[in-house]
Structure 1
Amino acid sequence: MGILVTMGILYPSSVCSAETFQALENFEARKDDVVLVSYPKCGINWLILIVNDLIATTLKTKHENTELPFIECGDPERYQRMKQFPSPRIVATHLHYDLLPKSIFKNKAKVLLLFRNPKDTAASFFHFHNNAPSIPSYNSWEEFISLFMNGQVAWGSYFDHAVVWNKHIDDENVLVLTYEQLKEDLVAGVKQIAEFFGFTATAEQIQAIANRTAFQAVRDKSQETHGAVGPLIFRKGVVGDWKNTFDEAQSQKVDAKFKECLEGTKLGAKLKYDVYCKT
């Protein structure tokens, strides 16, 4: 299984290509694009379903889009096809801040950033790699976590991604939510998302969307919505599942890295590290 390296970051060549990255530079974002950003395995596929439901419910439009949702994946012609998509388009990506198409910021599209605690992210990423057929697998968890800590995994370093976004956490048109927040109170999360993107939804509609897109409901229908890969994308959705994977030494390494990169930052506070990442 091939690996593509662009600007020092690894990507699976089964879904990403140098030609697509080149074409992406000229991608023209619209002001009303719904831009969803996250590091892999932080819940963005779940978020896409929530936002799709919000758009369908409030605007009475259903997007029949068969493209891979991530703008860095697929063939270079996809951006031409995207020009035909009705607004609002969902633009999803795992790309680091510095690699996002410049037109997103130039045209003032709103960006919703979803984060998840690093230990659950790493554990989920490892399981995904070893279960999904189209991406490389690892011989062991020990091998994966060592590479994850060094940023030598697909889409690069979780911590680099977080450090740069922390600098933009107060930017106009940026909203940061966490996976844990959505798991804890999905109704409040859906309401926040609707308000941020300007979708007018009643309390009843928000409750209905939250019921339909609760993680378990989404997981139960995942084969229907995402085909064979669905149950791999929506595997467990549990907060704290990292405890079944990490040993004490690995856990302490992540603690030290989090402290070095994010302690005392606004993003660090949002991640509630002591709540979700300490035994």
Structure 2
Amino acid sequence: MSNSPSKGTSHLAYTGFSLDRSTPSLWRVTFDTPPINLIDPVMIVALHDLLAEIEQDNRVAVVVFDSADADFFLAHYDIVADQSAFNALPAARTPFHHWANLLIRLSRSRAVTISALRGRARGAGSEFVLATDIRFASRERAVLGQFEVGFAAVPGGGPSTRLPGMVGRGRAFEILLGGEDFDGGLAERYGYVNRAVPDAEFVGFVNAFAERVSRFDLLALADIKRFVNAASLPAAAALIAEMDAFAEAAARPAAPSIIGQAFEHGFQQRSDVELNLGAYVGMVARKPRTATSG
């Protein structure tokens, strides 16, 4: 679980990421969980703690999320992780719902949140990116995707409700039904990210934008977020229903069978499967099933 930061601390290591209080108004969070930045219950609890710190500090205006791993921003959820860390959080309908609750809280945070995306963000990693306010991607190094359909599941952390308003109905279907990878350039064209920036310019661009916004009036920023959120965020009930559907899918026989095959080929390891997960999902063999079968 995370340490508890004190006022005046400029750099703090949580479990799963570090926090750099660059200035009182600009914070930077760097994910660092080898081998591939998997999201697990310990990280989720730490992120809840981070959001509490943001809510309690009325000086922070902007929070930038990035990664220490050149290949992985947030790979996806660790499906074999110990769930006991969730005991530190209020009870939820299922363990998966702690993730949905975090993403709802992240989107509604008073601070402006920016994903600085270099490397892969798939599944829950993509869901985290979609829950932040602004998404910048390295044109050459960013990869996004929702691969759950290939594992006989529906994404649970909000993409089915967030993506249609961002990319349009047809493109949302393409992303969610195809389970393919989207590089930075294509993600920009679709509206999956705000902008794809050449990698050589990426850090400077993100830093300049974050620093610019962090200098503006805090109340003005909060008001803008409040009105944009009211016009654009899906209802919390819709996000919870999506997680309900994911939990049901994960409990059906098909998903564990496919996941077992994936582990045999290097799933959740630094492997060709994880580096090229979108392509792998398209080759997974499964028995045909009807829409009504359980």
TM over 0.5: no
Q: So what's the TM-score if we normalise by structure 1?
A: 0.28
Q: So what's the TM-score if we normalise by structure 2?
A: 0.27
Higher helix share: 1
